[in-house]
Structure 1
């Protein structure tokens, strides 16, 4: 490894600019110490948390252009493999940090199965080193309104334990939203479900608000999807609608308390963007679409009105939220955002096809959002290709080679993810465009 030290300092600085705002799990002091401990000349990196950060930034930062696309991908994969080997060898806060970063890296690289496996390891680490027990003890002494992570920016060193645990729960809950199985390996999950409806949290801190939605507010959605898959609503459509109605209003509570803009004019005249504000809004609306997907279609070609209208409104609200932020801020966002946009865009295409309707301007907004996130994340580029193939089928009325599962409303985006990925991989030559490998070839 012959990279200059200044280059690694730049990549770490970019982490705090590009990724830390939506995944605030790192201590600048720790990474700075790890950088200062690097040997001269650079022959190895001892700190696997630093390796994880470098691996992600190496793969996706524009500062890695100089290495070439294949060069930076090879180096990123090399560092990633070292991180996994070293972090798996111990159960610690450092391991949790590193594996969480690699899980995000893999998710953005369109490797959801690896992300799920890594998140299960994160859960096990949290259990083994007592973080879940610490969280449960803390929650039992708090009122429902107090449940959640501390305010962002107030934790360093060992004090990162609580926000890091909450961040792990949040990433796990959002990345698995839409699955029909439910992992109840930790008692903390049931407790989070129990406070979802009685909590009126102080959401003045945007990170706390987003984590509260992800880790707590989504638990009833997970529970409903699991119970629906188990057949508990087979003869109870009205009961399913009533359950969804309660969940829907709870999700909308998170939207109502959001400020009107994700941008703030600072005292020095600079404009600050807070990604957690727009992520909370978009995640709430995307969750509505996922929640109602199993209830939209009625007999034959009919649709149930309330699930349909709420899902369509959610798509419009997502598009409106996208219009409120810049392309650069879309590009430098979490890869989980592209999946939320894919959920909305896929729903619109299914309804266009079902109702023989023309595409609307809001659909173009959704596609533009996915395109912008695709400048950074391979997952979004694959989603973009799939959606464009579906657009051709909707516009022409001709059947395409797109897997039939794409058009099945009751199958979630996770259910069809691997099928669609295989479909794209089989057709890379005919579908090839520069965007498949990102803008930095």
Structure 2
């Protein structure tokens, strides 16, 4: 293993970026093989790179239909890329916490380890082993539920149901959103078993391994949870409830989405449509037919994303939760930001602000670029940009119609969106240095 002072520990972001690039390149080569497509014709370089990037970065955006364009070999390659990408993200994100904590000073290291009680510098092997076991175990449980449902309710053959169930279970837990169905999961909109099983996999996968580990270990004692776990759990619940209510309200009279549905199906579809934008990419209603209000709610949910050190994208719920506490402290006139009897250090607050502002800047820049090179309206372009940058995978249907330059931009957004928050957070933490002098203080006018 590399010494603590080695380049890998000094810049874990470079290692992560290189690993993902290599995996994307390997996937693109495999998908470029003639027998990777159902027709036997080689996929174009752009389609191969786009699909490989989307799979490795567990996004779910596609330029060609997964179920009909790719052969069984191509679909298996995509599934393998999703699994490698999902496991890699959770493992590397958890290990980055370890690497960062080892590079910080003693006081900062104690704070970092207190925030992720399950992940310390002494148990790297246990982290990797538990990530793999929990991921594969969760996917197996969801796949088993789906197999039984598909065989009994939809009369699929056992072999066909098993293939379909395994693909969607892995895609769901890894928050990839790839589906073998051209309509994603719209055909199952009223099936609570399938919808809730997929939802459970997406939510658990989007919480983050340190949070999952802590919840498994101390779920009966919420008062002992770390601040990270508390914020992740509570913000996730708030977003699920608020998102469900707002989407149900926005789409209740829309004949192309929730309008014709029964009350129970409407609530189920609204819940799923609130859950999936935060990273998964599946849909049970026609996203392109949503109202302006529904698209706006979805945009916000995509930008926020899921939990830190998870397969979810976005700026993360911990970032938003911490900024909410900062705002509350400022409105109350408090000198410090306290969360659950813990004081949050100022550098942690600055990191959250930097991640949020850089995310907003990237989304705005990408949206402007796509508006400049296409004729699509702002709703569709902003949705596509946020979906790619937040590695969500939902679309209003414009992905395949984008010009080549637009598709390459989406590829870059998926890659940066996958690595951005993780590498940025670690880089900001590792750049901390002690200042041996203070400059004179002067307040500026704000607002």
TM-score in same-fold range (> 0.5): no
TM-score of the aligned structures, taking structure 2 as reference length? 0.32
TM-score of the aligned structures, taking structure 1 as reference length? 0.32
